[in-house]
Homo-oligomer: A and B are copies of this chain.
Amino acid sequence: MLGRVNHIALVVPNLAEAAAKYRSVLGAAVTAPDALPEHGVSVVFVTLENTKVELLEPLGSDSPIAAFLAKNPAGGMHHICYEVEDIIAARDSLVAAGGRVLGDGQPKIGAHGKPVLFLHPKDFFGTLIELEQV
């Protein structure tokens, strides 16, 4: 079921500062910041040879990552996004195996304009998993 690692998402308290550090100290290619109010985040991507690191800062008053940052004020690792070919088939297979999909179980259109789902971290040893149909 799991295809490529599409990205690893890290929450940071200050996106401009984090982007500058990844660029200047770690020597990585970093995209321009993008505000995604419909997702409650601002984002930059650190573009690596084989995958991406997504740096996320909360945007707006009901950001889905605000609670994470309140619990981890310095920031931290937030989720891994895997690519799948068929997100409905993946969801149905996971649910049949006892897995829980967050929200109403229907794929949403994610930050890349593709259908995404999130799986309950309690079902996967404390790691939040995003599936993205590509």
Q: Which residues of A contact B (CB under 8 A)?
A: 1-5, 8, 10-13, 18, 21, 24-28, 46, 48-51, 53, 55, 72, 74-80, 82, 93-94, 97, 99, 121-122, 124-127
Contacts and interface: CB of A to CB of B under 8 A. Distances in A.
A48 B97 contact: no
A48 B4 contact: yes
How many copies of this chain does one complex carry?
Answer: 2
Nearest to A122: B74
Contacts of A13: 125
Given A5-B5, A80-B8, A97-B25, A18 B48 contact: no
A123 to B, nearest CB: 8
Contact of A28 (B1, B79, B126): B1
Given A25-B93, A26-B82, A75-B126, 19 more contacts: A1-B26, A1-B27, A1-B28, A2-B26, A2-B48, A5-B5, A10-B125, A10-B127, A13-B125, A18-B125, A21-B124, A24-B97, A25-B94, A48-B82, A51-B51, A55-B125, A72-B126, A75-B125, A77-B78
Nearest 3 A/B pairs, CB to CB: A1-B27, A75-B125, A77-B77
A41 to B, nearest CB: 15
Contacts of A26: 1-2, 82, 94
A2 B30 CA distance: 12
